[in-house]
Structure 1
Amino acid sequence: MEEQPRTRRVGILGYGKLGQFLVSQLLSHGPPLGLSLSFVWARSAGALQALPPDLRLADLRHLPSTGVDLVVEVAHPCLAQEHGEDILRHADFMLGSPCALADAVTERRLREAAARGGHTLYVPRGALWGCDDIARMDSAGTLQALQVTMTKAPGSFRAQGWLRERLAAAVASGTTTELYRGPLRPLCPLVPNNVNTMAAAAVAAPSLGFDGVTACLVADPSVPDWHVIAVEVTAVAEGGRALTVTSTRRNPAGAGDVTGSATRHSFWSSVLACTGHGGCVKLC
Structure 2
Amino acid sequence: MEEQPQTRRVGILGYGKLGQFLVSQLLSLGPSLGLSLAFVWARRWEALEALPPHLRLRDLSELPSTWGPHCPRVPAGVPIVPVSPLTRVPVSQLGSPTALADAGTERRLRAAAARGGHTLYVPRGALWGCEDIARMDSAGTLQALKVTMTKAPGSFRAQGWLSPRVAAAVAAGTRTVLYQGPLRPLCPLVPNNVNTMAAAAVAAPRLGFDGVTACLVADPSVPDCHIVTVEVTAVPEGGRALTVTSTRRNPAEPGHVTGSATRHSFWSSVQACTGHGGCVKLC
Q: TM-score, normalised by structure 1?
A: 0.92
| Corresponding position of 2:269 | 270
For residue 255 of structure 1, what is the amino acid of its counterpart?
P
For residue 169 of structure 1, what is the amino acid of its counterpart?
A
Structure 1 residue 281, shift from structure 2 partner: 0.6
Find the aligned partners of 1:220 and 1:78 in 2 and give their Cα distance.
Answer: 35
Structure 1 residue 193, shift from structure 2 partner: 0.3
Q: Deviations over 1:103-155 (max 9, x none)?
A: 00000000000111111100000000000000000011000000000000001
| Corresponding position of 2:78 | 80
CA gap 1:70/1:138 in 2 versus in 1, 3 angstroms:
farther
Find the aligned partners of 1:259 and 1:228 in 2 and give their Cα distance.
Answer: 11
| Corresponding position of 2:232 | 233
CA gap 1:129/1:78 in 2 versus in 1, 3 angstroms:
farther
Find the aligned partners of 1:25 and 1:128 in 2 and give their Cα distance.
Answer: 21
| Corresponding position of 1:161 | 160
For residue 166 of structure 2, what is the amino acid of its counterpart?
L
| Corresponding position of 1:109 | 108
Structure 1 residue 67, shift from structure 2 partner: 3.2
Structure 1 residue 79, shift from structure 2 partner: 2.3
Answer whether contact 1:70 1:94 (CA < 8 A) is retained. Answer: no
Answer whether contact 1:9 1:70 (CA < 8 A) is retained. Answer: no
Structure 1 residue 93, shift from structure 2 partner: 1.1
Find the aligned partners of 1:37 and 1:278 in 2 and give their Cα distance.
Answer: 23
Find the aligned partners of 1:70 and 1:131 in 2 and give their Cα distance.
Answer: 29
Answer whether contact 1:10 1:70 (CA < 8 A) is retained. Answer: no
| Corresponding position of 1:184 | 183
Structure 1 residue 214, shift from structure 2 partner: 0.3
Find the aligned partners of 2:137 and 2:239 in 1 and give their Cα distance.
Answer: 16
Answer whether contact 1:5 1:34 (CA < 8 A) is retained. Answer: yes
Structure 1 residue 32, shift from structure 2 partner: 1.2
Q: Secondary structure at the match of 1:121?
A: strand
Q: Secondary structure at the match of 2:78?
A: helix
Structure 1 residue 70, shift from structure 2 partner: 8.6
For structure 2, list consecutive stretches of 5 or more residues without a partner in the other structure.
none
Q: TM-score, normalised by structure 2?
A: 0.92
For residue 10 of structure 1, what is the amino acid of its counterpart?
V
Structure 1 residue 157, shift from structure 2 partner: 0.3
| Corresponding position of 2:247 | 248
For structure 1, which segment, 152-161 or 228-237, has the greater mean C-alpha deviation from structure 2 after superposition? 228-237
Find the aligned partners of 2:49 and 2:67 in 1 and give their Cα distance.
Answer: 23
Q: Secondary structure at the match of 2:51?
A: coil
Answer whether contact 1:41 1:56 (CA < 8 A) is retained. Answer: yes
**Paired residues, what number?**
277
Per residue, is there more helix in 1 or in 2?
Answer: 1
For structure 1, list consecutive stretches of 5 or more residues without a partner in the other structure.
none
Find the aligned partners of 1:225 and 1:78 in 2 and give their Cα distance.
Answer: 34
Structure 1 residue 5, shift from structure 2 partner: 4.2
| Corresponding position of 1:31 | 31
Structure 1 residue 239, shift from structure 2 partner: 2.6
| Corresponding position of 1:220 | 219
For structure 1, which segment, 179-188 or 2-11, has the greater mean C-alpha deviation from structure 2 after superposition? 2-11
Structure 1 residue 46, shift from structure 2 partner: 0.7
Answer whether contact 1:157 1:194 (CA < 8 A) is retained. Answer: yes
Q: Secondary structure at the match of 2:228?
A: strand
Aligned residues: percent identity? 81
